[in-house]
Structure formats: structure tokens, C-alpha cells
Structure 1
Amino acid sequence: MLKNKSYIGISFIILIFGIYAIPKIVERIQDNDIVKGDRLDQVGGTTRRDDKLVKIGPAPNFELVNQDNIKVSNETYKGKVYVLEFFFTTCPSICPKMNLSMLDIEKSFFGNPKFGLVSITIDPSHDTPEVLKSHAKLLGVKSSNWNFLTGDREYIYNLANKGFNLYVGENNKIKGGFEHSGLFALIDKNGNIRCRKDNFGNPILYYDGLDKKGVRDIQQDINILLKE
């Protein structure tokens, strides 16, 4: 009799466990989450969804002139999240793709006073404020928080190469005469360079402005920073 009661008790416990646990297991399988956990996330090198964006350090200070011949500096963007790139208007290769990516980002956050964009030319002898204004008009730029900047060549090259560690240089052997990366820098409201981690938990530093995934990633991370 006691044995029968024990079996009934055990069976009841198993039944309750099944009612509670099985739907959870099914849900995790559907979400592809069944093998994820703290240890496995570290071993497998996957980025945890609750990881905060990495703070790389303060973005370098800058002061240049925009397409309206007005001085613009990092202080102009204080309290704003912004994306910064280096480009030039006559670029025959990657710049048009970067411009399209920046336009996509502009469209996603258009009208938000806490967001802005910065495009700094690496060909300042050609890209005067007047040229930059025409270029912005040609692109169809609408945001008043998107500044196209020009200034002293040596100052700009030091800002890119030593300040942001984003390579720019002259090369007469390639079409267009200049070379640079297609990367975007993401800066938070406090002037810090921020980024997400890669699949191995390492900071990516900058975002690929030539890749749809890179643009999608930076848009997601802009949203995160705007809420901070």
C-alpha cells in the first residue's frame, strides 16, 4: 500500500514537471536557443545579446568648416549620437556606396535632434565648401545635422590616421588619386567612440559602410545609444 502511494506521488511530481518544463523546452528549440548558456556562449564565441556596446575611448577633437562655410567641431555634436566618415567627392570607387549607406542612416533617424552625421573630405584642395554643398544637394541630403567638412589637408590627415586610426592617403597609381577605408565611426552623446563585439567577443572598433550588415548593425547600435 505504501509502495503504491509512493509510485502515485512520484508520478504526480513527474506530471507537474512535464507540464511546466516541456513547453519551455519546445520554445527554446523553436528559438534555436536550446544549447545556449553562459559557458557555451563563452566557448562558442557567440556575442551575448545583453552585452553593452564597448567604449573604445574619447573621439579626437576636431574643428573644420562645413558646406555653408560655418565652423563645426566635436562640440557641435555634444549631447548627440553621430556617425563619422572620411571620403572625397570625386571618388570613383567606394565613396558612392558609402554615401548611399549614410543616406540610409540619415533616413532612419531623420528629424531626431539627438542624432547627426559627419563626412570629412580627404581632398580639401578640391572639396571646398561650395563643392561640398553641391555634393550634398546632389545626394539629396535633408538633415540639418549632416555636416560635410573641409579644411587644412595635414590637419585632416592627422585626424584620420592618428586620431581615429582610419587610414587615408594619396596614391597617384590608383583611380581617383586617394585611398581610404570604407569604415564608419560611431560616437555617443558623451563623445566616446562606441562599437559592438564580433562573434568572438572582440570589439569591432568601426562599422563597414560598404556592407548591408554593417549598416544594419550600426543602425541598431545607434538606437541603443540614443536610449542611454
Structure 2
Amino acid sequence: MNTKKTNYSFIGIAFIVLVFGIIFIPKIVDRITGDDVTRTESRSQNVSTKTEGFVSDLMFLEINGAPKKVPQFSFVNQNGKTITNKDYEGKVYVVEFFFTTCPTICPRMNRNLVQIQNTFSEFEDFGVASFTINPDYDTQDILKAYADNYGITNPNWHLMTGDKDVIFDLANVGFNIYAGENPNVEGGFEHSGNFALIDKNGFIRSRKDNFGNPKIFYKGIISEEEKQDDDGETEEISLLKEDIAKLLKED
């Protein structure tokens, strides 16, 4: 065995490794600390954690091909303050139509809304818009007492009163939520027990039904605890909570 030849081979290999380190390692370091590698890694991180520009899978309610936006409104709330649709800009909120002397569905609706209020109590950009359909009776003081009785504490939850015809038009045309007077029913008024969900930009949003169409509204009468009513209708408060959370993540 030629020991001298073997030693030369080791020396040659060591020389090649040294040259590789001198030439290529600084270039690798440059790439890591410079543009290439860090830029690629930051792209992957942004995909998984960044919420800027996030849009959820909730659908828009489209009328004649255009997404439907909340119409302009202006009413007085339980604290005597004039509230308009602009006060809700930048907020996710739930819309209901009710009246304080309602003997049937309104108490259940508002207990469910209070539960939703408490679920999102830490979010300053969440609110509720409650419009009375009996404004002749539901004055500011009546609405204030009602809010206190139900534990309504969210500063963005406005119980509003105003001109009856304007409120009915807002319900039936603006939100497509039925409301009307009927002396033959208990309480003298009839209305839908549904809630509408509005995003931060004032658009009506909802999830898809089994056919891929927007559900439009959420059932507001059945509580999460009940699961179903006597007719077999399933509660949708849990769905509404899930969708509120999605919209709160949107810009």
C-alpha cells in the first residue's frame, strides 16, 4: 500500500472542501440573510397567519346581480341618541324587529341575543340593531327599561324607535323581514322571528343552504339549549355565532 499516495488524496480532498467553503458559504449566508430564502419563508407564514384581506365563505344577498346593502336609517335609541346606519360602519351586527309588549316570540329572541352579546363581549366591533314595530308605545324610556331588564350592556346595541311607517318599510323592503299590524293576533302586531347578519361594510351576509343559495336569515326564536322546537325546527343561534366570528375576522 502506497501511504504517501493516500496522504496526498486526503490533502486534495481537504483542499477542495476549503475552496468550497471560501467560495460558496458566503453566498449561502447572503441568501439566508438577504432576499431569497427569507422572502420565501415569509410568504408561507403570511398564508397561514395573516388576516389582512381575509374574506370568509359567507354569501352576499344579491338583488338584480348586486350585493344588497343596509339602507339608510335614522332613529332614536334607548338613551335618547340619534342612531343612523353610519354608526354601525366598521362593525358586524345583528338586526331584529320586535316590540316590548310582545307576549310570544320577542322575549325568546332577545334572550338569545343577550347570550350572543355575552359571547362577543370582548369585541368592540360587534353590535345589535333592534327596531321596535310599536313605536307609539315604545318610547325612549320604555326601551331603556326593557334594555335594563334584559341585561343589555353592549354599547353598540341600540334599541330604536321612530316613525312607524318608516320602520315598517325598513323591515319589509330594506331587510325583507316581515312586520305588520294585525289586531286579530295576540299583542296586535305580527313579525318574523328571524335575524339578519350585517358585515363591517354594511352588506347583508349569510351562509349557504343545501342547494348553494344564501339562507339570508337566521332563526332567532329557538335557543341553543332547546336544540329544536315542537315542530322539529332546528336552532340556528349556534350557526349565527359561528358566522359572526367569521365576519369579525374580515377587514
TM-score of the superposed pair, with normalisation by structure 2: 0.70
Q: Distance in 1 between matches of 2:221 and 2:209?
A: 17
Q: Secondary structure at the match of 1:85?
A: strand
| 1:68 maps to 2:79 | yes
2:113 equivalent in structure 1 = 102
Q: Which of these two proteins has the greater Rg computed from alpha carbons?
A: 2
Q: Secondary structure at the match of 1:169?
A: strand
Q: CA deviation at 1:200?
A: 2.0
What are structure 2's unaligned runs of at least 5 residues?
Answer: 1-55, 62-67, 225-234
| 1:220 maps to 2:242 | yes
What are structure 1's unaligned runs of at least 5 residues?
Answer: 1-50
Deviations 1:74-118 (A, max 9, x none): 100100000010000000000011011101110111131111111
2:59 to 54, 57, 79: 54
Q: Secondary structure at the match of 2:95?
A: strand
| 1:128 maps to 2:139 | yes
**Is the contact between residue 196 and residue 204 of structure 2 (CA under 8 Å) also seen in structure 1?**
yes
2:179 to 168, 176, 179: 168
Moved over 2 A (4+): none
Deviations 1:161-181 (A, max 9, x none): 111111101111111000000
2:209 equivalent in structure 1 = 198
**Is the contact between residue 67 and residue 148 of structure 1 (CA under 8 Å) also seen in structure 2?**
yes
2:3 equivalent in structure 1 = none
1:143 to 154, 162, 174: 154
Task: State the identity %.
Answer: 50
Deviations 1:167-200 (A, max 9, x none): 1011111110000000001000000000001122
Deviates more, 1:186-195 or 1:206-215: 206-215
Q: Secondary structure at the match of 2:236?
A: helix
Instruction: Output the aligned Cα RMSD.
Output: 1.3
Which letter maps to 1:177? Answer: G
**Is the contact between residue 177 and residue 192 of structure 2 (CA under 8 Å) also seen in structure 1?**
yes
Which letter maps to 1:216? Answer: S
Q: CA deviation at 1:128?
A: 0.2
Q: CA deviation at 1:140?
A: 1.2
Which letter maps to 1:74? Answer: N
Deviations 1:188-223 (A, max 9, x none): 000000000112212110110012331111100000
Q: Distance in 1 between matches of 2:72 and 2:116?
A: 23
TM-score of the superposed pair, with normalisation by structure 1: 0.76
1:159 equivalent in structure 2 = 170
Q: Distance in 2 between matches of 1:140 and 1:79?
A: 24
Which letter maps to 2:59? Answer: V
**Is the contact between residue 111 and residue 143 of structure 1 (CA under 8 Å) also seen in structure 2?**
no
Which letter maps to 1:119? Answer: S
Which letter maps to 1:52? Answer: D
Which letter maps to 2:247? Answer: L
**Is the contact between residue 60 and residue 214 of structure 2 (CA under 8 Å) also seen in structure 1?**
no
